């Protein structure tokens, strides 16, 4: 018999957004409680995403008062480029100049939604100067144990837009029109949305030991089906996850 090259993605049907988020958060809790390594390369490492979808997971994690996250590292999958200098330029001469967090940065978003309440050991974000080092940094930590992902309406994961190659590592991207439009809801006007970002690549994401991809809302149904019930294609970057050995995908209305 021909052995399959990989395990198929696992579909879970949690029934509600709240249950979906609870399931992912419980798995993170089990990881954190079970791993408990104190050495640098043996601490729990969680890969995080921004956007609306994972917010429920972060709410669930915040409820886990008996879980000690102080030895856990987090790594965010992507970050905008170009916000900081603009922000600093506007503030120049005013109090707050040099403040490292632009209010629209993903770093700030994560602080508001998670880091303010949970005291992780350390949290990492890719930066423009780190394209060559970010993947080695992750490897030095022993790799990502659990990676959380959303999916863009164009099939992107992280900011790996359609056309991204399977072997891509952390890299700078020009955001597509559709991503800029989708993300404009977080900005005053569409012109304020950064045009560039840095993202872990497909290969960087595929190296995670376990992946949970979450999708919510009818506007995600078509792309979810294309990604996980259709062929593996660079046109739908999330479809590469079909080749991962431990990837669970979940959709709810």
Binding residues (CB under 6 A) for ligand F6R: these are 49-53, 77-78, 150-152, 156-158
Active site residue 243: no
Decide whether 32 or 205 has the Cβ nearer to ligand F6R.
Answer: 205
Q: How far is the CB of 142 from ligand F6R (least distance, A)?
A: 22
Question: What are residue 48's DSSP bridge partners?
Answer: 76
Residue nearest to ligand F6R (CB): 150
CB of 229 to ligand F6R, least distance (A): 19
Residue 156: active-site member: yes
By beta-carbon proximity to ligand F6R, the closer residue of 53 and 248 is: 53
Q: Which residues of 15-53 are buried (b: 16+ CB within 10 A; e: fewer)?
A: eebeebbbbbbebbbebbeeeeeeeeeebbbbbbbbbeb
Q: Least CB distance from residue 233 to ligand F6R, whole Å?
A: 17
Catalytic residue, chosen from 60, 84, 145, 156, is 156
In the set 145, 161, 171, 182, the catalytic residue is 161
Q: Which of 78, 79, 145, 182 is catalytic?
A: 78
Tell me, yes or no, if 108 is annotated catalytic: no
Secondary structure in 3-state letters for the chain: CCCCCCCCCEEECCCCHHHHHHHHHHHHHHHHHHHCCCCHHHCCEEEECCCCCCHHHHHHHHHCCCCCCCCCEEEECEEEECHHHHHHHHHCCCCCCCCCCCCCCHHHHHHHHHHCCCCCCEEECCCHHHCCCHHHHHHHCCCCCEEEECCCCCCCECCECCCCCCCCCCEEEECCHHHHHHHHHHCCCHHHCCCEEEECCHHHHHCCCEEEEEEECHHHHHHHHHHHHCCCCCCCHHHHHHHCCCEEEEEEC
Out of 154, 171, 182, 183, the active site residue is 154
CA distance 117 to 60: 12
Find the shortest distance in angstroms from Cβ 217 to ligand F6R.
8
Which is closer to ligand F6R, CB of 98 or CB of 126? 126
**Cβ proximity to ligand F6R, 72 vs 179, nearer residue:** 179
Query: Which is nearer to ligand F6R, 52 or 68 (by Cβ)?
Result: 52
Provide the minimum distance between the beta carbon of 62 and ligand F6R in the complex, in angstroms, as a whole number: 18
Catalytic residue annotation = 78, 154, 156, 161
């Amino acid at each position: 018999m021909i052995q399959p090259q990989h395990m198929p993605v696992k579909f879970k049907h949690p029934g509600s957004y709240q249950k979906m988020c609870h399931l992912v958060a419980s798995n993170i809790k089990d990881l954190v409680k079970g791993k408990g390594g104190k050495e640098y390369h043996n601490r729990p490492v969680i890969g995080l995403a921004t956007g609306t979808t994972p917010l429920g997971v972060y709410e669930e994690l915040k409820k886990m008062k008996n879980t000690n996250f102080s030895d856990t590292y987090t790594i965010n999958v992507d970050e905008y480029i170009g916000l900081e200098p603009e922000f600093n330029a506007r503030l120049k001469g005013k109090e707050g100049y040099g403040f490292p967090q632009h209010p629209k940065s993903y770093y700030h978003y994560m602080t508001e939604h998670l880091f303010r309440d949970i005291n992780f050991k350390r949290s990492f974000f890719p930066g423009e100067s780190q394209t060559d080092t970010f993947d080695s940094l992750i490897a030095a930590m022993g790799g990502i144990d659990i990676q959380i992902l959303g999916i863009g309406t164009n099939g992107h994961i992280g900011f790996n837009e359609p056309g991204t190659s399977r072997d891509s590592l952390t890299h700078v991207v020009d955001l597509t029109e559709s991503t800029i439009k989708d993300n404009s809801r977080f900005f005053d006007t569409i012109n304020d949305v950064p045009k560039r970002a840095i993202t872990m690549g497909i290969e960087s994401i595929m190296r995670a030991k376990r992946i949970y991809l979450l999708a919510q809302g009818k506007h995600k149904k078509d792309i979810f089906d294309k990604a996980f019930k259709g062929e593996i294609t660079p046109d739908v970057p999330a479809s590469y996850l079909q080749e991962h050995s431990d990837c669970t995908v979940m959709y709810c209305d």
